[in-house]
Amino acid sequence: MRELPGFVFLILGFAAQLYLIRVFSIPRAVVRVVLGCQILVFLSNLEPFSFWIDSKGSLPGSLMLLWWWAITPLACGVWFWRRFFGKPPGEKTIDPARRAVLRTAVSALAAAPALALGVGIITRKELTVREVPLKFANLPRDLQGLRLVQLSDIHMGSFYSAADLARAVDAANGLRADLMLVTGDLITDRFDPLDKCLLELKRLRAASGVWGCLGNHEMHANVERYTAAKARQLGMRFLRHQTEMLRFGSAKLNLVGVDHQKRNLPYLKHTAELVAPDAFNLLLSHNPDVFPVAEKQGFQLTVSGHTHGGQLNLELLGKNLNVVDLVTPFTKGAYHINGSSLYVNSGLGTIGVPVRLGSPPEITLITLCNS
Protein backbone atom coordinates (compact mmCIF):
# COMPACT_ATOMS: atom_id res chain seq x y z
CA MET A 1 0.00 0.00 0.00
CA ARG A 2 2.92 2.35 0.65
CA GLU A 3 3.76 2.35 -3.06
CA LEU A 4 0.18 2.83 -4.32
CA PRO A 5 0.17 6.66 -4.53
CA GLY A 6 3.46 6.55 -6.41
CA PHE A 7 2.04 4.14 -8.99
CA VAL A 8 -0.99 6.41 -9.37
CA PHE A 9 1.39 9.26 -10.25
CA LEU A 10 3.14 6.88 -12.66
CA ILE A 11 -0.12 6.29 -14.55
CA LEU A 12 -1.13 9.96 -14.43
CA GLY A 13 2.34 11.10 -15.50
CA PHE A 14 2.46 8.80 -18.51
CA ALA A 15 -1.11 9.71 -19.50
CA ALA A 16 -0.29 13.44 -19.20
CA GLN A 17 2.80 13.05 -21.38
CA LEU A 18 0.91 11.10 -24.05
CA TYR A 19 -1.80 13.75 -24.11
CA LEU A 20 0.71 16.59 -24.56
CA ILE A 21 2.58 14.59 -27.22
CA ARG A 22 -0.64 14.19 -29.21
CA VAL A 23 -1.73 17.81 -28.80
CA PHE A 24 1.59 19.44 -29.71
CA SER A 25 3.00 16.87 -32.13
CA ILE A 26 6.27 16.33 -30.22
CA PRO A 27 8.91 14.71 -32.50
CA ARG A 28 8.99 10.92 -32.17
CA ALA A 29 12.75 10.85 -31.45
CA VAL A 30 12.23 13.04 -28.39
CA VAL A 31 9.31 10.91 -27.28
CA ARG A 32 11.32 7.69 -27.53
CA VAL A 33 14.22 9.12 -25.48
CA VAL A 34 12.04 10.61 -22.72
CA LEU A 35 9.73 7.62 -22.28
CA GLY A 36 12.58 5.15 -22.70
CA CYS A 37 14.61 6.74 -19.91
CA GLN A 38 11.59 6.69 -17.61
CA ILE A 39 10.95 3.01 -18.29
CA LEU A 40 14.59 2.17 -17.55
CA VAL A 41 14.52 4.02 -14.24
CA PHE A 42 11.24 2.37 -13.33
CA LEU A 43 12.49 -1.14 -14.07
CA SER A 44 15.82 -0.60 -12.28
CA ASN A 45 14.37 0.51 -8.94
CA LEU A 46 10.76 0.40 -7.80
CA GLU A 47 11.49 2.05 -4.44
CA PRO A 48 11.45 5.66 -5.74
CA PHE A 49 7.77 5.28 -6.58
CA SER A 50 6.63 5.11 -2.98
CA PHE A 51 4.71 8.20 -1.89
CA TRP A 52 7.38 9.19 0.62
CA ILE A 53 10.67 8.46 -1.11
CA ASP A 54 13.02 7.51 1.68
CA SER A 55 16.79 7.47 1.82
CA LYS A 56 16.88 4.19 -0.13
CA GLY A 57 15.33 5.87 -3.16
CA SER A 58 17.45 6.76 -6.16
CA LEU A 59 18.04 10.28 -7.40
CA PRO A 60 16.81 9.47 -10.97
CA GLY A 61 13.62 8.00 -9.54
CA SER A 62 13.09 11.03 -7.33
CA LEU A 63 13.55 13.42 -10.24
CA MET A 64 11.17 11.39 -12.38
CA LEU A 65 8.48 11.52 -9.71
CA LEU A 66 8.93 15.30 -9.52
CA TRP A 67 8.56 15.49 -13.29
CA TRP A 68 5.26 13.62 -13.10
CA TRP A 69 4.05 15.97 -10.37
CA ALA A 70 4.85 18.90 -12.66
CA ILE A 71 3.60 17.50 -15.96
CA THR A 72 0.22 16.23 -14.68
CA PRO A 73 -1.23 19.61 -13.67
CA LEU A 74 0.28 21.12 -16.82
CA ALA A 75 -1.60 18.62 -18.98
CA CYS A 76 -4.78 19.32 -17.01
CA GLY A 77 -4.32 23.04 -17.65
CA VAL A 78 -3.81 22.49 -21.39
CA TRP A 79 -6.92 20.29 -21.55
CA PHE A 80 -8.94 22.90 -19.68
CA TRP A 81 -7.73 25.68 -21.97
CA ARG A 82 -8.51 23.73 -25.13
CA ARG A 83 -11.88 22.65 -23.73
CA PHE A 84 -13.08 26.15 -22.95
CA PHE A 85 -10.86 28.48 -25.03
CA GLY A 86 -9.65 26.23 -27.83
CA LYS A 87 -10.62 25.98 -31.47
CA PRO A 88 -14.18 27.09 -32.36
CA PRO A 89 -16.83 24.48 -33.29
CA GLY A 90 -16.42 23.37 -36.87
CA GLU A 91 -12.73 24.39 -37.08
CA LYS A 92 -10.82 21.34 -38.29
CA THR A 93 -7.30 22.70 -38.24
CA ILE A 94 -5.28 24.77 -35.83
CA ASP A 95 -3.49 27.77 -37.20
CA PRO A 96 0.24 26.89 -37.55
CA ALA A 97 1.33 30.15 -35.94
CA ARG A 98 -0.97 29.55 -33.00
CA ARG A 99 0.29 25.98 -32.64
CA ALA A 100 3.89 27.25 -32.58
CA VAL A 101 3.05 29.77 -29.85
CA LEU A 102 1.31 27.11 -27.77
CA ARG A 103 4.19 24.68 -28.25
CA THR A 104 6.68 27.33 -27.08
CA ALA A 105 4.52 28.18 -24.08
CA VAL A 106 4.19 24.52 -23.07
CA SER A 107 7.93 23.99 -23.47
CA ALA A 108 8.64 26.99 -21.24
CA LEU A 109 6.14 25.84 -18.63
CA ALA A 110 7.60 22.34 -18.66
CA ALA A 111 11.16 23.62 -18.41
CA ALA A 112 10.45 25.97 -15.50
CA PRO A 113 9.80 23.25 -12.89
CA ALA A 114 12.80 21.28 -14.11
CA LEU A 115 15.08 24.30 -13.80
CA ALA A 116 13.71 25.18 -10.37
CA LEU A 117 14.11 21.61 -9.15
CA GLY A 118 17.63 21.49 -10.52
CA VAL A 119 18.51 24.59 -8.52
CA GLY A 120 16.88 23.00 -5.47
CA ILE A 121 19.02 19.88 -5.82
CA ILE A 122 22.24 21.85 -6.25
CA THR A 123 21.58 24.19 -3.31
CA ARG A 124 19.94 21.73 -0.89
CA LYS A 125 23.12 21.50 1.23
CA GLU A 126 24.01 25.21 1.34
CA LEU A 127 23.94 25.58 5.12
CA THR A 128 22.47 28.70 6.74
CA VAL A 129 23.17 29.83 10.30
CA ARG A 130 20.12 31.75 11.50
CA GLU A 131 20.54 33.98 14.56
CA VAL A 132 17.28 34.52 16.43
CA PRO A 133 16.99 36.73 19.55
CA LEU A 134 13.85 35.82 21.54
CA LYS A 135 12.53 38.20 24.20
CA PHE A 136 10.82 37.11 27.41
CA ALA A 137 9.32 39.20 30.18
CA ASN A 138 11.05 38.99 33.54
CA LEU A 139 13.80 36.74 32.25
CA PRO A 140 16.26 36.05 35.11
CA ARG A 141 19.48 38.00 34.76
CA ASP A 142 21.64 34.86 34.62
CA LEU A 143 19.63 33.56 31.63
CA GLN A 144 19.93 36.76 29.62
CA GLY A 145 22.21 36.16 26.66
CA LEU A 146 21.99 32.35 27.02
CA ARG A 147 22.91 30.79 23.66
CA LEU A 148 20.87 27.80 22.43
CA VAL A 149 22.09 26.14 19.22
CA GLN A 150 19.59 23.87 17.46
CA LEU A 151 19.95 21.17 14.79
CA SER A 152 17.00 19.17 13.49
CA ASP A 153 15.78 16.70 10.86
CA ILE A 154 19.12 15.32 9.73
CA HIS A 155 17.70 12.34 7.83
CA MET A 156 21.13 10.80 7.33
CA GLY A 157 21.13 8.38 4.41
CA SER A 158 21.77 8.31 0.68
CA PHE A 159 20.95 12.00 0.26
CA TYR A 160 22.65 13.29 3.44
CA SER A 161 25.99 11.78 4.36
CA ALA A 162 28.22 11.68 7.43
CA ALA A 163 30.47 14.23 5.71
CA ASP A 164 27.49 16.58 5.30
CA LEU A 165 26.62 16.24 8.98
CA ALA A 166 30.28 16.76 9.95
CA ARG A 167 30.21 20.18 8.27
CA ALA A 168 27.05 21.08 10.17
CA VAL A 169 28.55 19.90 13.47
CA ASP A 170 31.67 22.01 12.88
CA ALA A 171 29.51 25.05 12.11
CA ALA A 172 27.40 24.47 15.24
CA ASN A 173 30.48 24.10 17.44
CA GLY A 174 31.71 27.46 16.17
CA LEU A 175 28.66 29.20 17.69
CA ARG A 176 29.82 28.74 21.31
CA ALA A 177 26.56 27.25 22.58
CA ASP A 178 25.52 27.14 26.21
CA LEU A 179 23.03 24.42 25.27
CA MET A 180 23.10 22.25 22.14
CA LEU A 181 19.66 20.99 21.08
CA VAL A 182 18.83 18.23 18.56
CA THR A 183 15.11 17.96 17.83
CA GLY A 184 14.61 14.60 16.16
CA ASP A 185 14.56 12.70 12.87
CA LEU A 186 18.20 11.67 12.84
CA ILE A 187 17.39 9.13 10.13
CA THR A 188 14.46 8.27 7.85
CA ASP A 189 14.05 4.51 8.27
CA ARG A 190 15.62 1.59 10.12
CA PHE A 191 18.03 0.86 7.26
CA ASP A 192 19.74 4.24 7.59
CA PRO A 193 23.11 4.67 9.39
CA LEU A 194 21.87 5.73 12.82
CA ASP A 195 25.12 4.82 14.57
CA LYS A 196 27.17 6.95 12.17
CA CYS A 197 24.79 9.83 12.77
CA LEU A 198 25.17 9.54 16.54
CA LEU A 199 28.96 9.33 16.27
CA GLU A 200 29.00 12.62 14.37
CA LEU A 201 26.62 14.24 16.85
CA LYS A 202 28.95 13.08 19.63
CA ARG A 203 31.37 15.80 18.46
CA LEU A 204 28.89 18.55 19.36
CA ARG A 205 30.14 20.77 22.16
CA ALA A 206 28.21 23.05 24.51
CA ALA A 207 28.95 24.43 27.97
CA SER A 208 25.89 22.73 29.50
CA GLY A 209 25.67 19.66 27.32
CA VAL A 210 23.93 18.22 24.27
CA TRP A 211 20.22 17.50 24.66
CA GLY A 212 17.50 16.31 22.32
CA CYS A 213 14.11 14.78 21.66
CA LEU A 214 13.05 12.07 19.22
CA GLY A 215 11.04 12.48 16.01
CA ASN A 216 8.42 10.57 14.08
CA HIS A 217 11.02 8.72 12.00
CA GLU A 218 12.68 7.26 15.09
CA MET A 219 9.18 6.18 16.07
CA HIS A 220 8.39 4.64 12.66
CA ALA A 221 11.76 2.85 12.60
CA ASN A 222 11.15 1.59 16.16
CA VAL A 223 14.58 2.82 17.32
CA GLU A 224 13.53 5.27 20.03
CA ARG A 225 14.83 3.21 22.94
CA TYR A 226 18.06 2.31 21.12
CA THR A 227 18.71 5.93 20.09
CA ALA A 228 18.27 7.25 23.63
CA ALA A 229 20.47 4.51 25.15
CA LYS A 230 23.25 4.80 22.55
CA ALA A 231 23.27 8.59 22.76
CA ARG A 232 23.64 8.43 26.52
CA GLN A 233 26.68 6.18 26.12
CA LEU A 234 28.15 8.86 23.85
CA GLY A 235 27.52 11.71 26.30
CA MET A 236 24.21 13.06 24.92
CA ARG A 237 20.74 13.00 26.46
CA PHE A 238 17.55 12.49 24.51
CA LEU A 239 14.70 13.28 26.88
CA ARG A 240 11.65 11.01 26.53
CA HIS A 241 8.91 12.60 28.61
CA GLN A 242 11.68 13.52 30.99
CA THR A 243 12.96 16.69 32.60
CA GLU A 244 16.36 18.01 33.64
CA MET A 245 16.83 21.02 35.90
CA LEU A 246 19.84 23.08 34.78
CA ARG A 247 21.35 25.93 36.77
CA PHE A 248 22.95 29.07 35.38
CA GLY A 249 24.17 31.15 38.29
CA SER A 250 21.15 31.77 40.48
CA ALA A 251 18.68 31.02 37.66
CA LYS A 252 17.06 27.67 36.88
CA LEU A 253 16.18 26.35 33.44
CA ASN A 254 13.80 23.39 33.38
CA LEU A 255 14.51 21.41 30.21
CA VAL A 256 11.72 19.02 29.16
CA GLY A 257 11.75 16.65 26.20
CA VAL A 258 8.94 14.56 24.70
CA ASP A 259 8.75 12.01 21.91
CA HIS A 260 7.00 12.92 18.67
CA GLN A 261 3.38 13.78 19.41
CA LYS A 262 0.90 11.95 17.17
CA ARG A 263 -1.78 14.12 15.62
CA ASN A 264 -4.59 11.65 16.41
CA LEU A 265 -3.85 11.72 20.17
CA PRO A 266 -4.08 14.52 22.77
CA TYR A 267 -0.90 16.60 22.71
CA LEU A 268 1.45 16.69 25.71
CA LYS A 269 -0.58 14.35 27.86
CA HIS A 270 0.80 14.32 31.44
CA THR A 271 3.46 16.89 30.45
CA ALA A 272 2.02 19.74 32.53
CA GLU A 273 3.24 17.96 35.65
CA LEU A 274 6.83 18.41 34.41
CA VAL A 275 6.56 22.22 34.38
CA ALA A 276 8.47 23.94 37.20
CA PRO A 277 6.78 27.17 38.37
CA ASP A 278 10.02 28.62 39.77
CA ALA A 279 12.12 28.10 36.58
CA PHE A 280 12.30 29.06 32.92
CA ASN A 281 10.60 26.11 31.16
CA LEU A 282 11.95 25.00 27.79
CA LEU A 283 10.20 22.23 25.84
CA LEU A 284 11.85 20.09 23.15
CA SER A 285 9.13 18.70 20.86
CA HIS A 286 9.75 17.49 17.33
CA ASN A 287 6.19 18.39 16.33
CA PRO A 288 5.53 22.18 16.48
CA ASP A 289 1.75 21.73 16.54
CA VAL A 290 1.97 21.25 20.31
CA PHE A 291 2.75 24.95 20.79
CA PRO A 292 -0.72 26.19 21.85
CA VAL A 293 -0.93 23.38 24.41
CA ALA A 294 2.63 24.03 25.60
CA GLU A 295 1.83 27.72 26.12
CA LYS A 296 -1.22 26.86 28.24
CA GLN A 297 0.82 24.42 30.32
CA GLY A 298 3.35 27.12 31.18
CA PHE A 299 6.29 26.60 28.84
CA GLN A 300 8.00 29.88 28.01
CA LEU A 301 9.82 28.43 24.98
CA THR A 302 9.17 25.47 22.69
CA VAL A 303 11.83 24.35 20.21
CA SER A 304 10.73 22.14 17.29
CA GLY A 305 11.47 20.90 13.78
CA HIS A 306 9.57 18.35 11.66
CA THR A 307 8.30 20.63 8.86
CA HIS A 308 11.63 21.17 7.00
CA GLY A 309 10.44 24.76 6.66
CA GLY A 310 8.13 23.52 3.92
CA GLN A 311 11.14 22.19 1.94
CA LEU A 312 9.55 23.31 -1.36
CA ASN A 313 8.47 26.94 -1.04
CA LEU A 314 7.05 29.45 -3.49
CA GLU A 315 7.11 33.15 -2.72
CA LEU A 316 4.10 34.83 -4.29
CA LEU A 317 3.13 38.48 -3.77
CA GLY A 318 5.37 38.67 -0.73
CA LYS A 319 3.86 35.57 0.88
CA ASN A 320 5.65 32.26 1.32
CA LEU A 321 3.55 29.29 0.16
CA ASN A 322 4.14 25.56 0.61
CA VAL A 323 2.22 22.33 1.09
CA VAL A 324 3.06 22.18 4.81
CA ASP A 325 0.98 25.34 5.31
CA LEU A 326 -2.07 23.16 4.64
CA VAL A 327 -1.15 20.92 7.59
CA THR A 328 0.12 23.29 10.28
CA PRO A 329 0.21 27.04 10.92
CA PHE A 330 3.72 26.63 12.37
CA THR A 331 5.92 26.05 9.33
CA LYS A 332 9.24 27.77 10.07
CA GLY A 333 10.74 30.50 12.20
CA ALA A 334 9.46 32.15 15.38
CA TYR A 335 5.87 32.30 16.66
CA HIS A 336 4.46 33.91 19.80
CA ILE A 337 1.37 33.40 21.97
CA ASN A 338 0.79 35.39 25.18
CA GLY A 339 4.46 35.81 25.97
CA SER A 340 5.36 32.21 25.09
CA SER A 341 7.54 31.56 22.03
CA LEU A 342 8.03 28.74 19.53
CA TYR A 343 10.91 28.31 17.14
CA VAL A 344 10.60 25.87 14.20
CA ASN A 345 13.93 24.88 12.67
CA SER A 346 13.96 24.08 8.92
CA GLY A 347 16.24 21.08 9.41
CA LEU A 348 19.33 19.83 7.61
CA GLY A 349 18.22 16.92 5.41
CA THR A 350 15.30 16.25 3.12
CA ILE A 351 12.37 13.87 2.92
CA GLY A 352 10.34 12.72 -0.08
CA VAL A 353 12.67 14.23 -2.67
CA PRO A 354 16.29 15.48 -2.38
CA VAL A 355 15.32 19.08 -3.12
CA ARG A 356 15.05 22.32 -1.14
CA LEU A 357 13.54 25.49 -2.58
CA GLY A 358 13.09 28.61 -0.48
CA SER A 359 14.01 26.74 2.69
CA PRO A 360 17.77 26.20 3.00
CA PRO A 361 19.18 23.76 5.58
CA GLU A 362 19.49 25.55 8.88
CA ILE A 363 21.39 25.72 12.14
CA THR A 364 19.71 28.07 14.59
CA LEU A 365 21.35 30.20 17.27
CA ILE A 366 18.62 31.28 19.70
CA THR A 367 19.64 33.95 22.20
CA LEU A 368 17.43 34.54 25.24
CA CYS A 369 16.80 38.22 25.91
CA ASN A 370 14.81 40.22 28.46
CA SER A 371 11.95 42.20 26.96
Report the pLDDT averaged over residues 36-46.
57
Cα within 13 Å of Cα(312), Cβ side: 13
Q: Is residue 96 over pLDDT 70?
A: no
Confidence grade of residue 32 (pLDDT, cut at 50, 70, 90): low
Confidence grade of residue 72 (pLDDT, cut at 50, 70, 90): confident
**Residue ranges per domain, the chain?**
4-122, 128-370
Q: Is residue 321 over pLDDT 70?
A: yes
Give the integer Cα–Cα distance in Å for 178 and 201. Answer: 16
Q: Is residue 88 over pLDDT 70?
A: no
What was the pLDDT predicted at 38?
A: 65
Report the pLDDT averaged over residues 302-313.
92
Output the CATH code of domain 128-370: 3.60.21.10
Q: Is residue 330 over pLDDT 60?
A: yes
Give the integer Cα–Cα distance in Å for 297 and 269. Answer: 10
- Cβ neighbors of 299 (< 8 A, separation 6 or more) are 256, 275, 281, 282, 283, 340
Q: What is the pLDDT of residues 229-270, one digit of tens each?
A: 999 999 999 999 999 999 999 999 999 999 999 988 899 999
Lowest average pLDDT, out of 39-48, 72-81, 159-168, goes to: 39-48
- Cβ neighbors of 332 (< 8 A, separation 6 or more) are 307, 309, 310, 344, 345, 346, 359
Confidence grade of residue 2 (pLDDT, cut at 50, 70, 90): very low
Torsion angles phi and psi, residue 189, rounded to 5: -140, 180
Lowest average pLDDT, out of 49-53, 93-97, 343-347, goes to: 49-53
Give the integer Cα–Cα distance in Å for 159 and 176. Answer: 28
Confidence grade of residue 358 (pLDDT, cut at 50, 70, 90): confident
In this prediction the pTM is 0.74
Lowest average pLDDT, out of 30-44, 188-202, 249-263, 352-366, goes to: 30-44
Give the integer Cα–Cα distance in Å for 130 and 363. Answer: 6
Give the integer Cα–Cα distance in Å for 365 and 109. Answer: 39
Q: Is residue 56 over pLDDT 50?
A: no
CA of 33: how far to CAs of 13, 180, 186, 298, 318, in Å? 16, 50, 39, 60, 40
Q: Is residue 46 over pLDDT 50?
A: no
Q: What is the pLDDT of residues 115-132, one digit of tens each?
A: 555 555 666 788 999 999
What was the pLDDT predicted at 100?
A: 61
Report the pLDDT averaged over residues 27-40.
66
What was the pLDDT predicted at 182?
A: 98
